[in-house]
A and B are shown apart, each in its own frame.
Chain A
Amino acid sequence: DTGVSQNPRHKITKRGQNVTFRCDPISEHNRLYWYRQTLGQGPEFLTYFQNEAQLEKSRLLSDRFSAERPKGSFSTLEIQRTEQGDSAMYLCASSLGASGSLTDTQYFGPGTRLTVL
């Protein structure tokens, strides 16, 4: 399978615990995005990487959230001291992001469903 993969698919944790999710993008894609999706809503942008550089962060990304893409390939999203309001589907997407490209179609992974008890 050459699509975007995410692990784990489901995570249940207790409030106050730290969690980490992983995303493996499509291999030749330079850009990697993280989104959060709550029930009945569309995905909301959190942050994105161009190769290993984190270029933009949403206001939704509080200090408890940190994302990395150390080698410009896979990415991790860590949530520290989880709160019940963090319960959501966390989606990763990747795109070609070619230099000078005016179009940047994103392909999504299956998501990680986080439940904070």
Chain B
Amino acid sequence: GQQLNQSPQSMFIQEGEDVSMNCTSSSIFNTWLWYKQDPGEGPVLLIALYKAGELTSNGRLTAQFGITRKDSFLNISASIPSDVGIYFCAGLQYNFNKFYFGSGTKLNVKP
């Protein structure tokens, strides 16, 4: 299947710091999504990106759809303890009609 490389695998940051994580692939995707997953729960959608170059914000979260359509990044500004969790990127290719997920970035925030 299509592989999405998500980095970093984990992060330990101090409350108040900004965070950046990204997702890259050798394949082109038509839609990028970013999800957050808490332990024992399903992923919750954070941001959806539909056009190359698109920059979208949701509160303290900002995500961009890379110009090449092969990558996306997610930034979290002024992190807080409730940002703790695992963040997944997901890419959709129209012809395959299903999402491929990255392996996740585990975020730890120290108060």
A interface residues (Cβ-Cβ under 8 A, vs B): 4, 6, 33, 40-45, 48, 55-56, 91, 93, 102-111, 113
Contacts and interface: CB of A to CB of B under 8 A. Distances in A.
16 contacts: A6-B42, A40-B104, A42-B88, A42-B102, A48-B97, A56-B97, A56-B98, A91-B42, A102-B30, A102-B50, A103-B48, A105-B48, A106-B33, A106-B45, A108-B44, A111-B41
Contacts, number: 63
Interface in B77-111: 88, 90, 92, 94, 97-104
A107 B45 contact: yes
A56 B30 CA distance: 19
Interface in B16-66: 30-31, 33, 35, 40-45, 48, 50
Leading 5 A-B pairs by shortest Cβ distance: A42-B101, A108-B42, A45-B98, A110-B42, A111-B42
Contacts of A40: 103-104
Contact of B45 (A6, A48, A102, A105): A105
Q: A41, A43, A91, A93 — which one has the most chain B CB atoms within 10 A of its CB?
A: A43
A48 to B, nearest CB: 6
Nearest to B43: A108
A108 B98 CA distance: 14
Given A4-B42, A41-B103, A106-B33, 12 more contacts: A33-B99, A42-B90, A44-B101, A48-B98, A56-B97, A102-B30, A103-B48, A105-B33, A108-B45, A109-B42, A111-B42, A113-B40
A51 to B, nearest CB: 14
Contacts of B45: 105-108
A45 B104 contact: no
Nearest to A31: B97
Nearest to B101: A42
